[in-house]
Amino acid sequence: MKIGELSRATGTNIETIRYYERIGLLPEPGRTAANYRSYGDAHRARLVFVRHSRDLGFTIEEIRSLLDLSDDPARDCHEADRIASAHLEQVEGKIAQLTALRDELTRIVGRCRGGLAGDCRVIEALGDHGQCQSAH
Amino acid sequence: MKIGELSRATGTNIETIRYYERIGLLPEPGRTAANYRSYGDAHRARLVFVRHSRDLGFTIEEIRSLLDLSDDPARDCHEADRIASAHLEQVEGKIAQLTALRDELTRIVGRCRGGLAGDCRVIEALGDHGQCQSAH
DNA sequence: TATGGACCCTGTAGCAACTACAGGGTCAAG
DNA sequence: CTTGACCCTGTAGTTGCTACAGGGTCCATA
């Protein structure tokens, strides 16, 4: 299939597909006589893997490691588990951080009682970390 | 005070301070005879405001608007509230998204039972969105 | 046969918000 | 008088794309 079809089949931007090829995440496909890229099912599966992993927040480098792993079925599976677990930890950290941040923002927003910017509680709170309840 | 002192006083990288000046978020300070930047309390307060807002996840452009507002005390405070509320909504959306993602990752990681990468459940799950419980 | 539009190609530049040099100047202490 | 800490400008790198510019290819219709 041509790049446009692969794009539609996977919901991936054409430019993104070429980008993945450029950085070596997708193998170079064959070419037609007109120099058009020509993809098969293996390419599509690999792209689905990449997109799904990106959707789950894995970085390109993490995905590269996971792909290396899946390209070599004899290797130890624990490496994949390690990458995914480390990523999970990061996500949990991020959630905790965002939750603290949301609480702080909620409190700051709740203080607005209208009026002039000159004595705006929101602006005041932003200029004074001391008013915060928790670290962030 | 010189840029290094301001850096230590606010916990901001020196390069970042110069960057903020370059993009017009901080006003150009005076200079010493040796062409060193020379800051006062107003500069420090403004930088604290910027850093605190960045820590709370506001974008540079949002901060620019908030600063404009605080520079003009006669303006209506509701604009600040609007910016902060919109940001709060974004943070809440991000938390929801990350939570769904965490659940998916937890399920994927939990499936690892060791062994070879060839039949790794983690890698398998990444290549098959159909195994997911929820949208992400 | 000409032409229009949909598709494809390469290469480069832009985005956010920094961070990291290279290559130089200034200043106080020993 | 030299060492080391500090400062300067300007540019390029980071991540993960996205958006052109400027061109080629292919197929259907007038």
Alpha helices by DSSP H, listed for chain B, are 3-10, 14-22, 41-55, 60-71, 78-110, 121-126
Whole-number Å distance, CA B61 to C1' C8?
38
CB contact under 8 A, B112 and A74: no
How many angstroms separate the CA atoms of A12 and A48, rounded?
9
How does pLDDT run across A1-40, given as a tens digit for each residue? 999 999 999 999 999 999 999 999 999 999 999 999 999 9
User: With contacts defined as CB-CB under 8 Å, which chain A residues touch B107?
Assistant: none
Q: Is the pTM of this model over 0.75?
A: yes
CB contact under 8 A, A80 and B136: no
User: Which bases along strand D come within 7 Å of a protein CB atom?
Assistant: 6-10, 15-20, 25-26
How many angstroms separate the CA atoms of B98 and B117, rounded?
27
Helix (H, G, I), strand (E, B) or coil at B110: helix
CB B127 within 8 A of CB B121: no
How many other β-carbons are positioned within 10 Å of the β-carbon of residue A51?
Answer: 19
How many angstroms separate the CA atoms of A123 and B81, rounded?
9
Beta bridge partners of B116: A76
A100, closest residue in chain B (CA to CA): B56
Question: Is A130's pLDDT higher than 90?
Answer: no
How many angstroms separate the CA atoms of B91 and B59, rounded?
12
Q: Residue A38 belongs to what H/E stretch?
A: strand A37-38
How many angstroms separate the CA atoms of A36 and A11, rounded?
20
How does pLDDT run across B42-84, given as a tens digit for each residue? 999 999 999 999 999 999 999 999 999 999 888 888 889 999 9
- Find the CB nearest B66 among A80, A115, A123: A123
Helix (H, G, I), strand (E, B) or coil at B122: helix
Output the average pLDDT for chain A. 91
Helix (H, G, I), strand (E, B) or coil at A110: helix
User: In chain A, count of helices (H) and strands (E)?
Assistant: 6, 2
A57, closest residue in chain B (CA to CA): B101
Architecture of the domain delimited by A1-75: Orthogonal Bundle (1.10)
Q: Where are the domains of chain B?
A: 1-75, 78-136
Optimal mutation site among A12, A59, A77, A116, interface B, most CBs of chain B within 10 A:
A77
- Find the CB nearest B91 among A80, A87, A98: A98
- At A93 the pLDDT is 92
Question: Is A110's pLDDT higher than 90?
Answer: no
The band of A133, judged by pLDDT with boundaries at 50, 70 and 90, is confident
CB contact under 8 A, B105 and A91: yes
How many angstroms separate the CA atoms of B80 and A120, rounded?
8
Which among B8, B86, B90, B6 has a CA at the least distance from the CA of B46?
A: B6
Our CA angle for B10, B13, B16, nearest 5°, is: 105
CB A90 within 8 A of CB A51: no
Output the average pLDDT for chain B. 91
